[in-house]
Structure 1
Amino acid sequence: MVNQDTPYGNISYNQTGTSTYTGADGKTYSVPQFTQTTTLNPQQQETLDQSQQAATNIASTANSLSSTGLSQLSQPVDTSGAPALQTSLGSGYTSTLGNDYSTNLGSGYTSNIGNGYTTSLGSDYNTSFGGDVSQAMTNAKNAVMDQYTPTLDRNAEATRAQELASGVRPGSAAYSANEQTIGDNYTRAADQATQTAQSVQNQLFNQQQQQAAYTDSALLNQANFTNNSALNQAQFGNSALLNQFNSQNNAALNQAQFGNSALLNSANFNNSANSQWLQNYYTQRDQPLNELSALLSGSQVQNAAGTTSSTPSTQVAGTDYSSLVNQQYQNQYQQYQNTLSGISSLGTGLLSFL
């Protein structure tokens, strides 16, 4: 075995005995046994002492916190001091709008326009116009013929006198031709008189039509004006009533909504206070256990001995038992390392035990 000097201290080996083994060949072999001693330098020793003291303090604090926490948990939950939880908005909350809210516009609202509105244009309105103008046509034709006839008669007499002077006798071709000419003149005059009479008739018809149209248009305009006035008056009155109705109902609705909103806000505030009180109560009740949990889960200072170099093993030459001796030494050294690790994690072990 070789002693070690490290920056953290030194390790020494002292033979404290031997182990005897009987080999397969029947011979007895003696293997020395050693005791390893680790001596920390003053700084590392102080660190170890402080770590052990810290572990003791942690264990003491954890024990105190667990006692306090378990003591509080052993007490029944008492929420009698919490503000009352409000589950009703009370009689002041309304789902109706009351008497101030109206669903009727009243007797002043009208669905008819009244006596001022007319659906008839009166007896003066013309659906037909004018009288019988056929007599006027006859009169016009007769008047024209009265102008043409004296001339036609004189011309006929002159023609017959000329025939007689010329020796043209009735029944002759010349006589018949002259009579035909006289008849044609009367016919053309009659046709001209008829055309003139028809023109007079058409002119009279157009005048009667224009007069009837003018009269009907005046009556229609007057009726429209009267009806529009009556309609506007009715609409104005209805609009005023509707505006008043809406204003009154909106006021009633806003008043009810304001009251309900105030009650709801008050209930929410009270219930929020209840929730906050319970949260604070359970926080205080659980605080010791939360602190204990945080303390138990905290990381601990690692011991410096864990950074020392490993101790080289001593080989036993000349026998087949060297591997067995080396394994025994490794087991002993591992036990030493476990002891140092146990000292380092003492605080954690105590806390875990708690």
Structure 2
Amino acid sequence: MVSTPDYPDPNVTAQAQAGMNRDTAITQQQLNMTNQITPTGTLTYQQTGTSSFKDSQGRTVETPTYTATTTLSPEQQAIFEQSQAAQNNLATIANDQSGFLKDYLNKPFEYNNQDAEKWAYDLGAQRLDPRFAQQETALRDRLIAQGIRPGTTAWDREMGNLNQSKNDAYNQLMLNGRQQAYTEALQERNQPINEISALLSGSQVSMPQFQSTPQTGVAGVDYTGLVNNKYQAESQSAAAGMGGLFGLLSAPFQMFKFSDERLKEDIRQVGETDDGTPIYTYRYKGDPTPQMGVMAQDVAEEQPEAVGMHPSGFLMVDYGKVK
């Protein structure tokens, strides 16, 4: 007896596909986790355990977990240990000195403009006073030589210009001196803080540089596609076999048509005959072509004379007798 194949269970197919996907991913990862040996150290991979999760069906699924271990060469390990010891010493010194900052920062920053200006004036006057004295003597000699005497307008104007230049020079001296004094005072204030900051920056813990997770590149198995292709092939084969069987065995039943509901699918009632026999649309299994007609089982209840049994075991209907 010819029969069409059962349609694959979607849940079973999906679970099998998920399992194969996991197998592919694990295989890909293991293929890519290549141990490395370099002059400065080695990198090795090792399975160190498993992780588990609940899948969509509530079953526990386990997957392997791995650890990447980096080992330095003896020379690099010695350098690393010395560096760590040095950083530890710097961190200890910074910690000890940080106690000093508690009292130090509680004292406000002090800067006296008058003291700075006096310091700048006293320092600059030692150079400016002799120079301006020489300029005044030279100016007096030049004016007298030109016939300009003290008390005249021309004399007072020239002497006023000299005094103005002298005042401008001293003002600039005191401004520059005040700025320099302020900068030096601020540097002196910040020096202890900068020293401790330098110690702290030199003792930062170096975080390990983890390796990137290996990227897989092996193509997975399309199990779902294979199952569907197999089902389609079997369905087509069954349809061809059914057609051949019908052709060989239907000779004595020329007036009959196969209408057994066991041969049909996608069945939907769309009406009825004059005597109330239901009419349906349907497809023969394995055949995508839509059909319309009655079911042999329905006709057998009211008009058994219109139904016959094919040697294959399926029911047939003589449509000429259906009312």
TM-score, normalised by the number of residues in structure 1: 0.32
Which structure carries more strand by proportion? 2
Which structure carries more helix by proportion? 1
TM-score, normalised by the number of residues in structure 2: 0.34
